[in-house]
Structure 1
Amino acid sequence: MQDSDVFSPSLALSLGFATVLLIGIIVKMWLASRQIRHVARHRHAVPAAFAGSITLEAHQKAADYTITKARFGLLELSLGTAVLMGWTLLGGLNLLNQSLLAWLGGGMWQQLAVLAGFVLISGLIDMPLALYKTFVVEERFGFNKTTLALWLGDMLKSSLVGAVIGLPIAALILWLMGSAGPMWWLWAWCAWMGINLLLLMVYPSFIAPLFNKFQPLDDETLKARVTALMQRCGFAAKGLFVMDGSKRSAHANAYFTGFGAAKRVVFYDTLLAKLSPAEVDAVLAHELGHFKHKHVIQRIVTMFAFSLLGFALLGWLSTQVWFYTGLSVIPNMSGAPNDALALLLFMLVTPVVTFFIAPLSALVSRKHEFQADAYAVQHTSGQDLSSALLKLYEDNASTLTPDPVFVKFYYSHPPASERLARMAPTGGTQGVFA
């Protein structure tokens, strides 16, 4: 291969990556600025449809929280972009690889060390902003309930769990890349999907309890209501549990976890403290709607399809010298494998490109939420679901006046005004909450 053959596609990749990254940054900053301006412009008055149920104080808290998060997001964007440039075009990943290659030589241990070193350094870089988000942003608005000791303990446990699970998976993928021939990517995809399905089954019973306490739901009245609802909907779960979410945050939620026979219904203790039994019923019916419409299966199938495309693309890119040199990485030419480098470069580059299909993913998710709401209204009271959702919007300080373009790009859930209007018999929200 001549130098000119490598140089041209390498330079094209460098320029293309920098251009797409720059466009993405501009779009993200434009969207954030729209959100900030739109929310600030509507901060001084509660929307008419919610005037009878949301106080001005709560509305302004949600506006301030949204604006603060958006501005913090710009800070995260700036740091993230600088770090991404540092790893790629400025040669950070190449420096890490060459240093470990000189120390450990080529082979599996060196490749695992590259992956582990990347994760460790990235985590240390992200730590200051993560601390600030929890202990300044969330604290300022009354949501943070964790302590520094608990936060550090969670980080340590997450790191250990990640190492115990992640390193063997990484070793398997790297082994397949080096030993399974040109079609290694297909075998790696099969292994990756099998592992993901296994984790979905074992997570509720073995991983989640490492971070939170899960107690069986002991409110007999609520348990009877929930059980009756699930029977009406033809749904079975392994158990009903209450999670001590209040130990870390004041945000409220409820969710299903697990897969197949291992499915569990989990309520945050903060949710049960804020909603009436009928409202809890309605929120649960919404989650059942996701299962009824097979949204979970659709998302898993979509993940399977996109990951297959991703592995196939990685299989090709990993054999192209310009893929490495175009991102300022010198590939190992002396027989040492480049598999860890290929994985990391692909991980770094992919989000830059897939950012532009985010609106499509968000659109599908919002459609699913509307379908789940409609299912809940069929099986419980629409009034209860509306009041429950409004309480959750208020307690989580979710703005009632997001920017419409920002919504279309990012929101996985419809705005309150759209979501609640569909539940109102008259097609509006005024009669529901007044």
Structure 2
Amino acid sequence: MINTFVVIFLTVIILKTLWDITLDIMNLRYSTNPNAKIPDVLKDKLSQEDFEKAKKYLKDRVLFGVVRKLTSLIVDLIFLLKVFPYLEKVLSDKGSTIFQAILFFAIYELIDYLVGLPFSIYSIFVIEQKHGFNTTTPKTFLKDQLLGIILTVAIGVPVVAIATLLLVKFQIWWWQLSILFIALMLFFMIIQPLFIAPLFYKFTELDDEELKKKLRVVLDKSGVKVPNIFKMDASKRTKKQNAYLTGIGKSRRLVIFDTILSYNHDEVLSVVAHELGHHVKRHIPKLLVINSLLVAFILCITNILYKFILNTGVFGLTQPYTTFIYAYTFIISIMFFLEPIVNYLSRKMEYEADEYSARLLGTSEPLISSLKRLVKENLSNPNPHPLYKIWHYNHPAPEERIRRLEELRVQNG
């Protein structure tokens, strides 16, 4: 029975990565084949030259992603079969179980970080640079890495300590751990815009007074209370465009990438109205509930598997922190095959936010125009594979959003 479980365990983890890579390759072949054409709704904005650039960008990202995922799989298997049991044995006499867990995850995160660092560097300074998106300097990159490490330690150590305490104290710990992680989600929703994001980006008051007035009119019309409107210096890291609404209560703020300020005011307003749609339609609390239930479900079945691994001695584990990571890794690998369900719900919300934007502004034209520009300027894939969209897209493909908005325009006359 134990050997059978080990085979199933490893098979699921390997199949998850192989299926993910298969989807990437299917998407690449489908999107770049000689018969692929520019969707009709994009032909007025997307030239053949733009189309070819998008295909080259996709090819580079997919090939890079395949190498990265295969490397990650190999590293994960080495950890699971060799490194984790060895670390558990070495750390078994190093103080309390909580201290051992902190050391265990510190060593794991350090090795994982060092393995992933060359991929991060290549992605930013080779692929993004090659296709004209990167504006990150080596100095900024180094600063981001150091800040990321400091935040990981500052947040990770107490979380690991509390989680390990729960594992040691209770046999049935999934609901306590669920409360911890749900509390963390809420905590980050509050502190991320106020304290974390400003460590990486500079936020200043929007200096375009005319645009600010128009934004205030849209905000008042929507009924969403937003204390602050900020411009973010995204151009220090990328040329890609975006805007978002973040935070809850007094921490809520509307953030405009400085890279999107080249868009006309109506286009910027349509993007902001889309973000407002998520709040008016209560997508944020809905997603919080969905994610909370998902976390509780994952931890519940992780708890069941955790007890099985610990009781049977499979993999030769004796400590709660190592047993947890094996059980959690297996369950998360299985949950990957349920991603299409969650993404379907997310895409549905995106359609609702698009419709809200069109109705709030009284026209869908600016959002259609901004979507077309985003496809062109971000070198988005205009022809994703249908199965790839179902599996990985938490937003509808741009051509699908545009078609839906055009239908709405026809309905409204």
What corresponds to 2:242 in structure 1? Answer: 253
Change (3 A) 1:148 1:350: farther
* Contact 1:215–1:241 (Cα < 8 Å) also in 2: yes
What corresponds to 1:421 in structure 2? Answer: 403
- Amino acid corresponding to residue 361 of structure 1 in structure 2: V
CA distance in 2, matches of 1:254, 1:105: 48
How well do the aligned residues superpose, as a CA RMSD in angstroms? 2.0
What corresponds to 1:98 in structure 2? Answer: 89
Deviations 1:29-57 (A, max 9, x none): 32122111111125875333322221222
Change (3 A) 1:354 1:184: closer
Change (3 A) 1:427 1:230: closer
- Displacement of 1:261 in angstroms is 3.1
* Contact 1:285–1:376 (Cα < 8 Å) also in 2: yes
* Contact 2:12–2:330 (Cα < 8 Å) also in 1: no
Check if 1:177 corresponds to 2:167.
yes
* Contact 1:44–1:60 (Cα < 8 Å) also in 2: no
What corresponds to 1:362 in structure 2? Answer: 343
CA distance in 1, matches of 2:403, 2:34: 19
* Contact 1:112–1:340 (Cα < 8 Å) also in 2: no
- Amino acid corresponding to residue 56 of structure 1 in structure 2: Q
Change (3 A) 1:426 1:173: closer
What corresponds to 1:207 in structure 2? Answer: 196
CA distance in 1, matches of 2:67, 2:175: 39
- Amino acid corresponding to residue 189 of structure 1 in structure 2: S
Change (3 A) 1:391 1:240: same
Check if 1:115 corresponds to 2:105.
yes
Change (3 A) 1:295 1:118: same
1:133-144 to structure 2, matched below 5 A, reads 133-144=123-134
- Compute the TM-score of the two structures, normalised by the length of structure 1: 0.89
Deviations 1:328-372 (A, max 9, x none): 3x223xxxxx22213322342233111101111221111111111
Deviations 1:288-308 (A, max 9, x none): 111121111111101111111
* Contact 2:309–2:323 (Cα < 8 Å) also in 1: no
- Displacement of 1:420 in angstroms is 0.4
- Displacement of 1:414 in angstroms is 1.2
* Contact 2:38–2:383 (Cα < 8 Å) also in 1: no
* Contact 2:39–2:382 (Cα < 8 Å) also in 1: yes
Determine which of 326, 342, 360 is the counterpart of 1:379.
360
SS of 1:319's equivalent in the other structure is helix
- Displacement of 1:395 in angstroms is 1.2
Determine which of 324, 331, 335 is the counterpart of 2:317.
331
Check if 1:19 corresponds to 2:6.
no
* Contact 1:42–1:401 (Cα < 8 Å) also in 2: no
- Amino acid corresponding to residue 72 of structure 1 in structure 2: F
Change (3 A) 1:202 1:245: same
* Contact 2:42–2:372 (Cα < 8 Å) also in 1: no
What corresponds to 2:118 in structure 1? Answer: 128
Deviations 1:370-419 (A, max 9, x none): 11111111011311110011111111110211111211111111112211
- Amino acid corresponding to residue 61 of structure 2 in structure 1: K
Check if 1:320 corresponds to 2:311.
no
CA distance in 2, matches of 1:12, 1:24: 18
Instruction: Provide the aligned length of Structure 1 versus Structure 2.
Output: 409
SS of 1:320's equivalent in the other structure is helix
CA distance in 2, matches of 1:212, 1:241: 11
Determine which of 168, 172, 176 is the counterpart of 1:187.
176
What corresponds to 2:213 in structure 1? Answer: 224
Determine which of 168, 186, 199 is the counterpart of 2:158.
168
What corresponds to 2:137 in structure 1? Answer: 147
What corresponds to 1:394 in structure 2? Answer: 376
Check if 1:35 corresponds to 2:27.
yes
Deviations 1:78-132 (A, max 9, x none): 11111111111x2221112222225x24532111100111111111111111111
Check if 1:403 corresponds to 2:385.
yes
* Contact 1:369–1:413 (Cα < 8 Å) also in 2: yes
- Amino acid corresponding to residue 48 of structure 1 in structure 2: D
Question: Where does the alignment leave 5 or more consecutive residues of structure 2 unmatched?
Answer: none
Percent identical residues: 27
CA distance in 2, matches of 1:247, 1:226: 24
CA distance in 1, matches of 2:308, 2:37: 57
What corresponds to 1:349 in structure 2? Answer: 330
- Compute the TM-score of the two structures, normalised by the length of structure 2: 0.94
SS of 2:53's equivalent in the other structure is helix
Deviations 1:177-203 (A, max 9, x none): 223x33433223223222321221111
- Amino acid corresponding to residue 390 of structure 1 in structure 2: K
- Displacement of 1:215 in angstroms is 0.6
CA distance in 2, matches of 1:137, 1:296: 33
Change (3 A) 1:42 1:378: farther
CA distance in 2, matches of 1:176, 1:361: 29
Change (3 A) 1:154 1:187: same
- Amino acid corresponding to residue 382 of structure 2 in structure 1: L
What corresponds to 1:72 in structure 2? Answer: 64
Deviates more, 1:168-177 or 1:370-379: 168-177
- Displacement of 1:23 in angstroms is 2.9
* Contact 1:377–1:385 (Cα < 8 Å) also in 2: yes
- Amino acid corresponding to residue 199 of structure 1 in structure 2: F
CA distance in 2, matches of 1:354, 1:169: 23
